[in-house]
DNA sequence: CTGTTAGCGCTTTCAG
DNA sequence: CTGAAAGCGCTAACAG
């Protein structure tokens, strides 16, 4: 019924082994033979059987990409960049490798489940994007899983995620702490002294690092860290909206709001506007990530640009073994402060 | 070296077949036996070999999702919804199915390549999202490919894409024409008579349908369709920015700009603003899709909301055979006009 | 409810 | 440079 490699071999009058060799192009084959085989493939409209091939070769053309939420451009941009690099030449059987995108929702169990599923598929590589959940048992479970994947020959790369100790995983970590610190320093430099901070979910490395950077900047100025000026939420607009209302309730004299990311910052802007406050005249707002829409906000958002596409591309190349891993198995990717319209000197 | 199903069988003192049965849960097995097997799986830390399983069963747990650009929330939202539906219960070997997201960049060749790759993987289903390229040879090639996939047992679903004739593909098409017409009617109702239109790339169904809807509304009002009022571009912000400048150059007296989608509309707003024109006081702007950021723009965008997540979820369910296909193998998904701040009565 | 028996379609030594 | 042969690890009849 379905055409197999043996059919192609018969038609081209060669052995199955030879067909396999021309298809994989990883072995010398006479040009004339190759041509004959290729013609047979064409005439028969043959399509290689991926699972069979993966079984025999003990590795597949699949690359797993774990993201918290693919609908969020933060992850979409990285996924897109990774995907662009893993395709193309190289790889077995005709080049292209397929990206398996897994939405974990940031949930530990789902992360582990997907990792197991990818292990089951004998994925050629796995790239984990975004911050990690900070929870000892889970972190240990992930580390164990990554180790097993690596043992089975799967390359493991972390993109925008801190290194995992005792693991062969290559890490490209974002300098969230440094970026956040710079951002808050910018606001302090403008003269702000009463700043609210909308943090991401607790128990997440990204959340913690950004918050630490913010506090470090405050501390350097000798500003006391009032816990009432920090609110935790999710990494979305809605959360920013609600958190801002709460911060305003706690202290109506705030002159700046620093958000966990750009989406949150947009929510903050909306809440301020609806509270009758102007941005930045009454209250300055700052985001993080510099997603594409941030420059279009009115006023445009002051934020920290993270080179998501570049980092993703690099992660993809490393995952494919097309770029050397950084020394020590880890590299820090810095952000860049983007000063724009949403931040200004405090009123009075 | 690696643990196989046979090892588990030996340890649990049952046959390999029995182990397979408890793992797939698709066959009656005595509770005590199942427990013994599960314990062995656990003790041995066994992970099923996906390729081997797919080879033997002649079907895999992979579901392909073709998108133009995963970094674009329009596709990210659909992909996310599809993915949420294909996971979970059902499926062979423990439930979860994996989403293989393929970025086609809207390029015909890549679309075909990915379809072949998915065919190679014996994907359980394939969902094609977004508009199709209108090009006879390519359309025919895609139709042929879809037919072959279906013959091989792969379920094919189109989400936000018009039906493909002579194909078993189930289609969930967006009513782009109707939505665009409503949108332009809204503007005409406000009194606008000189409207510019920024269309998407040529040779795309989405582009054509939206443009047709726009023109139908114009025609119904007896407004002549001046070709100089239409500019083609890409579906991104940059394109909207440039196209708006061009439209303004051609006719500085425009009172409204209708954009191919929200991103383009945002670019249009930026161009107008920089040209010293206020939105909507001087020029009204309208988008399409109602992506999450659109409500946050200032002014918020008048647009047509497409139920992307709902459509994606439905497509995912149909792809999994968990929801009946619509009668005739196709359904039209309507958009909803969202009148917001970016549209108003024309000046004077 | 469980075991036996064939493969699924390909890759890869090992010879030649 | 090419062929022969031995599996890769699992599933699915078919018996029992």
- Average pLDDT estimate for B56-69: 93
The minimal CB distance from A79 to the residues B70, B113, B296 is found for B70
Q: CB count, 10 Å around CB of A300?
A: 16
B256 pLDDT band, cuts 50/70/90, is very high
Q: What is the pLDDT along chain A (348 residues), one digit of tens a residue?
A: 689 999 999 999 999 999 999 998 878 888 888 999 999 999 999 999 999 999 999 889 999 999 999 999 999 999 999 999 997 654 443 467 899 999 998 899 999 999 999 999 999 999 999 999 999 999 999 999 999 999 888 999 999 999 999 999 999 999 999 999 999 999 999 999 999 999 999 999 999 999 999 999 999 999 988 999 999 999 999 999 999 999 999 999 999 999 999 999 999 999 999 999 999 999 999 999 999 989 888 899 999 999 999 999 999 999 999 999 999 999 999 999 999 999 999 986
Cα dist from B88 to A116, A122, B97, B331, whole Å:
15, 21, 8, 25
Domain B176-305 has CATH 3.60.20.10: no
Question: How confident is the model at residue B31, as a pLDDT?
Answer: 87
- The values of phi and psi at residue A338, to 5°, are -115, 105
Asked if the model's pLDDT at residue B91 lies above 70, the reply is: no
- pLDDT tens-digit profile of B294-322? 988 889 999 999 999 999 999 999 999 99
Q: What percent of chain B has pLDDT over 90?
A: 86
Query: Which chain A residues are Cβ-neighbours of B262 within 8 angstroms?
Result: none
Average pLDDT for chain B: 93
Measured over the CA atoms of residue B104, residue B110, residue B115 and residue B116, the dihedral's sign is negative
Give me B113's structure tokens: 């390549």
Homologous superfamily of domain range B5-174:
Response regulator (3.40.50.2300)
Contact B190, B343 (CB under 8 A): yes
Three-state secondary structure string covering A35-89: HHHHHHHHHHCCCCCHHHHHHHHCCCCEEEEEECCCCCHHHHHHHHHHHHHHCCC
For residue B42, what are the contacts with CB-CB under 8 A and spacing of at least 6? none
Q: Which of A261, A295, A270 is nearest to B300 (CA)?
A: A270
B53-CA/D11-C1' distance, Å: 7
Three-state secondary structure string covering chain B: CCCCHHHHHHHHCCCHHHHHHHHHCCCCCCHHHHHHHHHHHHHHCCCCCHHHHHHHHCCCCEEEEEECCCCCHHHHHHHHHHHHHHCCCCCCCCCCCEEEEEECCCCHHHHHHHHHHHHHCCCCEEEEECCCECCHHHHHHHHHHHHHHHHCCCEEEEECCCCCCCCCCEEEEECHHHHHHHHHHHHHHHCCCCEEEEECCCCEHHHHHHHHHHHHHHHHCCCCCCHHHEEECCCCHHHHHHHHHHHHHHCCCCCEEEECCHHHHHHHHHHHHHCCCCCCCCCEEECCECCHHHHHCCCCCEEEECCHHHHHHHHHHHHCCCCCCCHHHEEEECCEEECCCCCCCCCC
Size of interface A-B (CB pairs under 8 A): 153
- For chain B, give the number of residues: 348
- pTM of the shown model: 0.93
- The values of phi and psi at residue A62, to 5°, are -95, 140
Contact B70, A79 (CB under 8 A): yes
A residues 253-272 lying closer than 8 A (beta carbon) to B: 266-267, 269-270
In Å, how far from its chain's centre is CA A322?
19
Residue B136: Cβ-neighbour burial (10 angstroms; 0-12, 13-18, 19+): exposed
Residue A17 Cβ under 7 A from any strand D atom: yes
Burial code (b: 16+ CB inside 10 Å, e: under 16) for B94-133 equals eebbbbbbbbbebebebbbbbbbbbbbbbbbbbbbbbbbb
Q: Which of A87, A165, A154 is nearest to A330 (CA)?
A: A165
- Average pLDDT estimate for B173-197: 97
Name the nt closest to B31 by C-alpha to C1'.
Answer: C1
Classified as helix, coil or strand, A165 is coil
Helix (H) or strand (E) holding A138: helix A136-151
Q: CB count, 10 Å around CB of B26?
A: 11
Residue A140 Cβ under 7 A from any strand D atom: no
Distance from CA of B78 to the nearest CA of A (A): 8
Question: How confident is the model at residue A339, as a pLDDT?
Answer: 98
Query: Which chain A residues are Cβ-neighbours of B117 within 8 angstroms?
Result: 50, 61, 96, 98
Question: How confident is the model at residue A94, as a pLDDT?
Answer: 45
Question: How confident is the model at residue B190, as a pLDDT?
Answer: 97
Contact B12, B40 (CB under 8 A): yes
B326 pLDDT band, cuts 50/70/90, is very high
Query: Are the beta carbons of A122 and B50 separated by less than 8 Å?
Result: yes
Asked if the model's pLDDT at residue B93 lies above 50, the reply is: no
- Average pLDDT estimate for B161-170: 94
- Average pLDDT estimate for B141-170: 94
Q: Give the mutation candidate from A80, A91, A144, A153 for the B interface (greatest B CB count, under 10 A).
A: A80
- pLDDT tens-digit profile of B103-126? 998 899 999 999 999 999 999 999
The CATH 3.40.50.2300 domain(s) of chain B lie at 5-174, 176-305
């Amino acid at each position: 019924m379905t055409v197999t490699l043996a059919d192609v071999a018969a038609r081209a009058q060669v052995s199955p082994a030879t067909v396999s060799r021309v298809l994989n192009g990883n072995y010398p084959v006479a040009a004339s033979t190759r041509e004959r085989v290729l013609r047979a493939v064409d005439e028969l409209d043959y399509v290689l059987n991926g699972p069979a091939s993966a079984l025999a070769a003990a590795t597949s053309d699949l690359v797993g990409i774990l993201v918290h939420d693919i609908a969020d451009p933060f992850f979409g941009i990285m996924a897109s960049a990774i995907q662009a690099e893993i395709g193309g030449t190289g790889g077995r059987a005709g080049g292209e490798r397929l990206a398996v995108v897994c939405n974990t929702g940031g949930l530990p169990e789902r992360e582990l489940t997907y990792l197991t599923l990818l292990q089951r598929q004998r994925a050629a590589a796995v790239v984990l994007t975004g911050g990690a959940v900070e929870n000892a048992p889970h972190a240990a479970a992930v580390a164990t899983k990554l180790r097993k994947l690596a043992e089975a020959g799967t390359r493991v790369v972390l993109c925008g995620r801190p290194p995992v100790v005792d693991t062969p995983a290559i890490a490209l970590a974002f300098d969230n702490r440094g970026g956040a610190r710079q951002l808050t320093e910018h606001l302090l430099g403008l003269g702000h002294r009463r700043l609210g901070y909308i943090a991401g979910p607790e128990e997440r490395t990204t959340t913690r690092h950004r918050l630490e950077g913010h506090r470090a900047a405050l501390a350097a100025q000798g500003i006391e860290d009032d816990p009432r000026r920090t609110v935790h939420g999710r990494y979305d607009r809605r959360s920013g909206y609600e958190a801002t209302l709460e911060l305003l309730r706690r202290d109506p004299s705030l002159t700046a709001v620093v958000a966990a990311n750009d989406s949150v910052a947009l929510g903050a802007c909306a809440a301020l506007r609806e509270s009758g406050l102007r941005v930045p005249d009454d209250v300055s707002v700052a985001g993080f990530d510099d997603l594409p829409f941030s420059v279009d906000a009115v006023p445009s958002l002051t934020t920290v640009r993270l080179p998501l596409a570049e980092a993703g591309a690099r992660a993809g190349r490393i995952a494919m073994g097309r770029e050397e891993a950084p020394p020590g198995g880890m590299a820090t990717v810095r952000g860049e402060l983007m000063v724009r319209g949403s931040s200004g000197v405090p009123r009075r």
